[in-house]
Amino acid sequence: MLAFVLADTPALPLHTAGKYVAGAYVVLFAIVLIYVAIMAVRLSRIERELGDLLKLSERSAEAQSPPPERESTLA
Amino acid sequence: MRRTVAALLHKELLVELRTLESVPGMSLFAVTTFVVFHFALNQNSVSGDEAAGILWVTLLFAAMLGINRLFVADQDQGGFDAFLLAPVDRSAMLLAKALALLAYLVVLELVAVPAFALLLLGPSLGQALPDLLVVLLLADFGVAIIGTLVAALVVRTRARDLLGPLLALPLLVPVVIGGARATSPLLGLTHADSPPARWLLTLGLYDLVFGLIAYAVFDFLLED
Amino acid sequence: MYGRGLRTLSIATVAVMAIALGLVFFYAPLEAEQGFLQKIFYVHVPLAIVSLCGFVAGGLMAIQHLRTRDPRWDMRSYVTIHMSLIFAVATLITGSIWAKGSWGHWWVWSEPTLVSFLIVFLLYATYQPLRFAIEDPELQSRYASVFAIVAGAFVPLNFLAVRLSTEYLHPRVLGSSSNLPAKMQLTFLVSLLGIALLYLTLCKYELTAKHTRAQLRALRRTLVGEGDPSYRRSRSAVPSL
């Protein structure tokens, strides 16, 4: 029984090779995750800027003509 | 076109002869570097791979000095504008500057190679000299083309002395590979063989490809 | 509109990468010499290939930029080169890990792919500093395009030269991608497709983000006018649309 299991062991001891292979694939994973994080930061910045611009446009629209009762677009 | 190039080249060489700002510095740098290598390596003579390495690294870094200064006068004193106003093919400037740089490199080697043979080289150069000259010339073309292109790229930036070598050195790695591998058997302790043809072909191919590319893109650097 | 098709592309990327991972760990056979360690091949080599193609593509886009003077081509060239540089770093790291596992050293000069990548990395690492050092935006774009063209032509030549120089010294340390058994070939191709799709997705993502920022800037300009003090265009290496 044990002989069958041992016969299947790979060339390099799995616990050493496994670390290196895992490391290489983690690098790939890390790239994608870091990129997601960068994009998240950018998205929040865009959201903030868009909110500012929306407030600006509402203010200038109000200044031009006093609007009737408007429902807020911001939840 | 040929007359423009000749006129520009004449101007370049005349300015260099009068101001002597590039070539003496490059040559002196090369000789000093050989001395530094003697102390750094703690050896009285080198041959083969080591000799080829020292020679090529020194020549390359000395060339950087010349490349850094190639367009500086034109940039600082308005030479570009004057040239752009003239009704001539703009690639003429590329050709003239590259030929000038080639000339500087040849003079550099006229000083550096004998100095190297005197100071550091173990085996005598005699028989290997014609082959060595061929390799040097092929490599010089490559360095001249890339050097001119890089010099034009960085002359308008803020850190031109730093960016120039940073851009040029990786681009010149194939020249170093071809040059050093071709030179190494020539400087070996045993009787000099001729350099393997593959390295000469590599250098030639490099010169051809980048010569054509430089010719194609140079116009875009000069317009304003 | 850069964002159109981004969703489809990202879904395709996830699907293909999932299949690729499955193939790598459950389908591809163990290699005779290196055993389990060889599995790094399926991430290292596709990264290398995609990165190189990206650099060359950046050069081609730069040619288009110089021909049409459309700033969008400069933006595409910039993003492509930027992303290829990141993938090049990943290639170097995964290659280094593979070398350590195979040979016990973190760096081997006898592996031509790794050496070529080091040189290419050193070259393209100057791309952003070069852009940053030129203040005028139009000049910056033009000079960056010239650089991208020269560097793009350099990449294949460099590979040739390095491969020629290392062949003489040692046999290839890390396996090559030819003479593979069929199962490995399939796994490799799927991995290559996965990494290529990942590259395209990230590039498209980046372009969409940059375009959105440009649109926001334009919107701000129309709402506020030119003299907005909170918005001064400072020096930047990034092309503007």
Tens digits of per-residue pLDDT, C232-241? 556 777 887 7
ipTM > 0.85 for the complex: yes
A26 - beta bridge partners?
Answer: none
Cβ contacts (< 8 Å) between C34 and chain A: which residues? 11-12
Structure-token pair, residue B23: 């070539």
| Distance separating alpha carbons of residues B224 and C138, to the nearest angstrom | 10
Are residues B56 and B23 in contact, defined by beta-carbon separation less than 8 angstroms?
no
- Measured between beta carbons, which residues in chain A are less than 8 angstroms from residue C100? 20
B residues 112-171 closer than 8 Å to C (CB)? 149, 153-154, 156-159, 163, 166-167, 169-171
Alpha-carbon distance of B83 to B81, in angstroms, equals 5
The whole-number pLDDT of residue B77 equals 80
Question: Distance between CA atoms of B146 and B211, rounded to whole angstroms?
Answer: 8
Q: How far apart are CA C123 and CA B168, in angstroms?
A: 8
Average pLDDT score, chain C: 87
Structure tokens at C187: 């796994």
Residue A7 pLDDT: 46
- CB atoms inside a 10 Å sphere around CB C64: 16
Please check whether residue C54 is in contact with residue C80, taking contact to mean a CB–CB distance below 8 angstroms: yes
**In the 8-state DSSP scheme, what is residue B195?**
P
Angle separating helix axes C182-224 and C41-68, nearest 10 degrees: 40
Question: B7 Cβ partners below 8 Å, 6+ apart?
Answer: none
Report how far residue B176's alpha carbon sits from residue B223's, in angstroms, rounded to the nearest whole number. Answer: 32
Instruction: Decide: residue A36, CB within 10 A, 0-12 exposed, 13-18 middle, 19+ buried.
Output: exposed
Subunit contact B213:C149, Cβ cutoff 8 A: yes
Residue C152 in contact with residue B209, Cβ under 8 Å? no
| pLDDT at A13 (0 to 100) | 56
Report whether pLDDT(C228) > 60: no
User: In angstroms, how far is CA B220 from the centroid of its own chain?
Assistant: 23
The Cα–Cα gap between B107 and B101 comes to 10
Interface contact A34, partner C, CB < 8 A = no
Q: What is the pLDDT of residues B120-174, one digit of tens each?
A: 887 777 777 888 899 999 999 999 999 999 999 998 888 888 899 999 999 999 9
Comparing C-alpha atoms, which of B209, B183, B213 is closest to residue B46? Answer: B183
Q: Which residue has the higher pLDDT, C68 or B224?
A: C68
The boundaries of the domain holding residue B179 are 2-222
Q: How many domains does chain B have?
A: 1
Q: How many CB pairs under 8 A join A and C?
A: 77
Residues C8-25 have pLDDT tens digits of: 999 999 999 999 999 888
Q: Do B177 and C164 touch (CB under 8 A)?
A: yes
Which range (A33-47, A56-70, B146-160, C21-35) has the least confidence? Answer: A56-70
Residue of chain C with shortest Cα separation from B152? C143
* Chain B CB contacts of C162 below 8 Å: 173-174, 177
pLDDT in tens, C108-165: 888 888 889 999 999 999 999 999 988 888 999 999 999 999 999 999 999 888 888 8
Instruction: Give yes or no for A61 touching C (CB within 8 A).
Output: no
CA distance C191 to B87: 55
Specify whether the CB–CB gap between C241 and C71 falls below 8 A: yes
